[in-house]
Structure 1
Amino acid sequence: MKVIYPGSFDPVTYGHLDIIERCSKKFGKVIIAVLNNVSKKGTFTIQERMELLKETTKHLDNVEVDSFSGLLADYAKEKGCTTMIRGLRAVSDYEIEMQMALVNRKLYKDIETLFMVSRSEYVFLSSSLVKEIALYGGDISCFVPREVEYALNNKIKGGI
């Protein structure tokens, strides 16, 4: 079975990677779909996010990194995929994710959204939090892989 794990991944964290690795053990193919949200300026470009994801998932043979713009339902149709994975950290995530799952199903009747609960050590972790800690000179090595830590610190030194 092929699944899509969509997100902004700006930057990818150990929480994201945990979901990706767990998916890679349960499903035949995992497509990491990096959202190109034209209304938001990310810290990393789409290409940089994709490269960081490729680097941090290179040990997983059944993982593909791709990007998309527009509606996720349209992207899933284009990929011939009927299963989407979303990670949940807290009840507040569930409320938002439930709305998105219902909208996606309305747009693409065959799509199913499967929710994966974060491991307890990643429940608090978000890309925004990692960026804020890095911005103020904090140690982010326990939240992101070395490649991501290096790339984010270089972005900050360059004035993001």
Structure 2
Amino acid sequence: MRRVLVPGSFDPVTKGHLDIAERAARLADEVIFAIAVNPAKRGLFTTDERLAMLREATADMPNVRVDSFEGLTVDYCKANGVTAVVKGIRVASDFDYELQMAQMNLGLAGVETLFMTTNPLYSFIASSLVKEVAKWGGDVSAYVPDVVARRLAEKLA
């Protein structure tokens, strides 16, 4: 079974994230969409809220599973039979950062990283930008799944 991991903070999940998961799901038997929990960071949404939004947003993707983890990505991969990490690349600076992570993951545990270029429709979307626009009352519904748009409106009301 080809099982891949799409890790991230997903605070909140965007249509760009979902595009990467959908495309990865066509290439692998199972995709794990996992929130990498960093206790030192405080997000807008709790881990449980992000898990719920991810589950709702991926409900129509039968081979996508949602999870969360703390610690090293490679440890999660080893414990869950994940053979590769899938990372979306929007701009060149994403690649510069992700290449270092990929090389470290390969060296630590032999976990491969697959870089997937972002669909141009979503290349400018970032969770931080979505939160900033929503905070100031902007309409972000074109950039996030419906569940996220609703939850942002509730959280920031």
Distance 1:3 1:113 in 2: 9
Offset of residue 11 of structure 1: 0.2
Superposition deviation, residue 77 in structure 1: 0.7
Whether 1:132 aligns to 2:129 is: no
Distance 1:147 1:88 in 2: 24
Normalised TM-score (structure 2): 0.97
Shift of 1:99: 0.6
CA distance in structure 2 between the partners assigned to 1:76 and 1:153 by the alignment: 34
Structure 1: gaps (5+ residues): none
Q: State the match for 1:114 in structure 2.
A: 114
Alpha-carbon RMSD: 0.7
TM-score (norm 1): 0.96
Deviating beyond 6 angstroms after TM superposition, the runs of 4 or more aligned structure 1 residues are: none
- Percent identity over the alignment? 48
User: Structure 2 CA distance, aligned partners of 1:54 and 1:85?
Assistant: 19
Matched AA of 1:94: F
Give the alignment of 1:138-149 within 5 angstroms: 138-149=138-149
What is the count of residue pairs matched by the alignment?
Answer: 156
Offset, 1:145 = 1.3
1:92-141 CA distance string (max 9 Å, x none): 00000001111111211x21000000011111100000000000000001
Structure 2 residue 70 is matched with structure 1 residue 69: yes
Q: How far apart, in 1, do the equivalents of 2:75 and 2:42 lie?
A: 22
